[in-house]
């Protein structure tokens, strides 16, 4: 067989043209250029590869998040294009959304004028560069070939690519370079790019949003009416609660897909729960600490405190300031035997028990056992099975310094009729 009759080997673009093409691009972004050079090591004769984010991160010695952002930027300037890929039940790769998501298809864009790519990379993409673009769009970027005057503003380079919609491996595009204003005032640009009121809270409360495409979610959210946007935000928490109840915690749906299928309609009565401000941590000391120790004596509990070189004796707490603790401080140092007894079952016992429970927390406050008859060995000292054995009578009481606990404002009630005033 002559040499001319042999089947010629397909030209390996990855071995020659691909690397040379990437090396000669002037991007002004060292990380992006390194990643692009590494991608050329994986492409086939058609300039296509399926390299994963972890592989590129290991090759470039970068974090996966850095690789994702630089790939998104390379796609924005037209150096590469990406297409989502799935593996069906038969193991066949497809781009139709059938099966399980897998590594995206990355294609090197040799057909794009290098001058245009470099102009986009530096943010100097002008009409003169646009005139050199072929009749077909060389990039998967939306709006590249749109007319200067359109009904709605054209998407800028910082906006997402329509051909990469739903890609699981890429985060939102980087903010640099900023989208050009195209002659509009800054206030008009801010108005166009502003987000709906309820999108931010809904996005932040969606579990796993850190690895999802924020731009896709925002695009779907903007399609909703104002009423649906509010309901969507309110339904996020009940939706996740329902998943937890049904033990569906492994596979979370992307937020933009949930919005697109109107999953929030399953929770028509959902209400927005405004986040509460976190309690302030403070050092409880002084009169409040003395009042807390008095409460501990009444409940037969030890109040643990420590000595701080700057703040003195006390302890850290998130409880707000309590004037009723300050009112109890006047009894600090007194003996419980000098106080009065309130029996279990009385209104005074219930009022003190609830107040002490509120101040001290922990287990239920039960008071102390007090025997109401003297000990008689002839009866109480016998074995339980003895016919003459009898239990010694007792009652449950609290030793308290006043018939009623102080009001929340620190004042004292004289009787039951005035106890609830000021509570």
Q: What does 306-334 look like in DSSP terms, one character per residue? A: EEETTTEEEEEE-PPP-HHHHHHGGGTT-
Any idea what DSSP says for residue 262? T
Percent of the chain with pLDDT over 90: 33
How far apart, in whole angstroms, are the C-alpha atoms of residue 325 and residue 98? 66
Q: Is residue 160 pLDDT above 50, yes or no?
A: no
φ/ψ of residue 82, rounded to 5: -130, 145
Amino acid 155: pLDDT: 39
Helix (H, G, I), strand (E, B) or coil at 199: helix
Q: Is residue 404 pLDDT above 80, yes or no?
A: yes
How far apart, in whole angstroms, are the C-alpha atoms of residue 116 and residue 107? 17
Amino acid 414: pLDDT: 66
Q: Is residue 192 pLDDT above 60, yes or no?
A: no
Range of weakest confidence among 25-39, 63-77, 91-105, 112-126: 112-126
Q: Is residue 223 pLDDT above 70, yes or no?
A: yes
Q: Which of 318, 321, 266 is nearest to 291 (CA)?
A: 321
Summarize pLDDT for 119-140 with one digit per residue, the tens.
888 876 654 544 554 433 333 3
Amino acid 144: pLDDT: 38
Would you place residue 148 in the very low, low, confident or very high pLDDT band (cuts 50, 70, 90)? Answer: very low
Would you place residue 159 in the very low, low, confident or very high pLDDT band (cuts 50, 70, 90)? Answer: very low
Average pLDDT, the chain: 79
Amino acid 315: pLDDT: 92
How far apart, in whole angstroms, are the C-alpha atoms of residue 33 and residue 139? 18
Cis bond upstream, residue 337 (ω within 30): no
Q: Which domains does the chain have, with CATH numbers?
A: 8-179 (1.10.10), 199-266 (no CATH), 282-419 (no CATH)
Give this prediction's pTM: 0.39
**What is the number of other CB atoms lying within 10 angstroms of the CB of residue 221?**
23
Would you place residue 74 in the very low, low, confident or very high pLDDT band (cuts 50, 70, 90)? Answer: very high
Q: Which of 277, 199, 264 is nearest to 238 (CA)?
A: 264
Q: Which of 209, 288, 297, 318 is nearest to 255 (CA)?
A: 209
Summarize pLDDT for 29-70 with one digit per residue, the tens.
899 999 998 998 888 888 888 888 999 999 999 999 999 999
Amino acid 224: pLDDT: 93
Range of weakest confidence among 190-204, 206-220, 274-288: 190-204
Helix (H, G, I), strand (E, B) or coil at 349: helix
Amino acid 272: pLDDT: 86
Summarize pLDDT for 325-352 with one digit per residue, the tens.
999 999 999 988 889 999 988 999 999 9
Amino acid 7: pLDDT: 55
Q: Is residue 71 pLDDT above 90, yes or no?
A: yes
Amino acid 3: pLDDT: 53
Summarize pLDDT for 255-306 with one digit per residue, the tens.
999 999 999 999 999 988 776 677 788 999 999 999 999 999 999 898 989 9
Higher pLDDT, 310 or 182: 310
Amino acid 370: pLDDT: 85
Amino acid 161: pLDDT: 40
Amino acid 93: pLDDT: 86
């Amino acid at each position: 067989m002559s040499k001319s009759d042999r089947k010629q080997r397909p030209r390996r673009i990855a071995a020659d043209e691909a690397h040379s093409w990437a090396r000669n691009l002037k991007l002004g972004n060292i990380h992006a250029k390194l990643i692009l050079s590494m991608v050329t090591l994986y492409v086939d004769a058609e300039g296509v590869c399926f390299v994963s984010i972890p592989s590129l991160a290991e090759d470039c010695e970068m974090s996966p998040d850095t690789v994702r952002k630089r790939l998104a930027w390379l796609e924005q300037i037209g150096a590469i294009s990406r297409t989502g890929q799935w593996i069906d039940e038969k193991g066949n790769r497809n781009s139709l959304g059938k099966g399980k998501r897998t590594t995206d298809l990355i294609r090197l864009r040799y057909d794009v004028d290098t001058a245009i790519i470099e102009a986009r990379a530096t943010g100097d993409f002008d009409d003169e560069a646009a005139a050199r673009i072929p009749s077909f769009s060389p990039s998967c970027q939306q709006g590249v070939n749109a007319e200067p005057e359109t009904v709605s503003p054209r998407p800028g380079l910082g906006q997402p690519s329509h051909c990469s919609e739903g890609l699981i491996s890429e985060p939102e595009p980087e903010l640099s370079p900023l989208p050009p204003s195209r002659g509009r005032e800054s206030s008009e640009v801010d108005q166009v790019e502003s987000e709906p009121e309820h999108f931010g809270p809904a996005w932040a409360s969606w579990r796993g949003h850190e690895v999802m495409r924020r731009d896709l979610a925002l695009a779907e959210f903007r399609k909703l009416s104002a009423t649906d946007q509010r309901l969507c935000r309110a339904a996020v928490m009940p939706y996740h609660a329902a998943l937890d109840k049904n033990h569906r915690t492994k596979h979370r749906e992307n937020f933009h897909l949930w919005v697109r299928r109107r999953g929030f309609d399953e929770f028509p009565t959902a209400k927005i729960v405004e986040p509460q401000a976190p309690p302030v941590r403070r050092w409880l000391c002084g009169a409040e600490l003395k009042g807390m120790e008095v409460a501990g004596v009444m409940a037969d509990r030890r109040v643990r405190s420590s000595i701080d070189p700057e703040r003195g004796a006390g302890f850290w707490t998130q409880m707000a300031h309590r004037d009723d603790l300050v009112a109890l401080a006047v009894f600090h140092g007194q003996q419980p035997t000098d106080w009065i007894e309130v029996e279990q079952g009385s209104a005074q016992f219930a009022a003190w028990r609830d107040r002490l429970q509120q101040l001290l927390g922990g287990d239920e406050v039960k008071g102390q056992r007090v025997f109401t008859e003297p000990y008689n060995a002839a009866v109480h000292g016998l074995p339980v099975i003895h016919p003459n054995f009898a239990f010694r009578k007792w009652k449950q009481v609290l030793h308290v310094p006043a018939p009623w606990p102080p009001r929340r404002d620190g004042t004292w009630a004289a009787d039951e009729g005035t106890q609830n005033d000021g509570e």
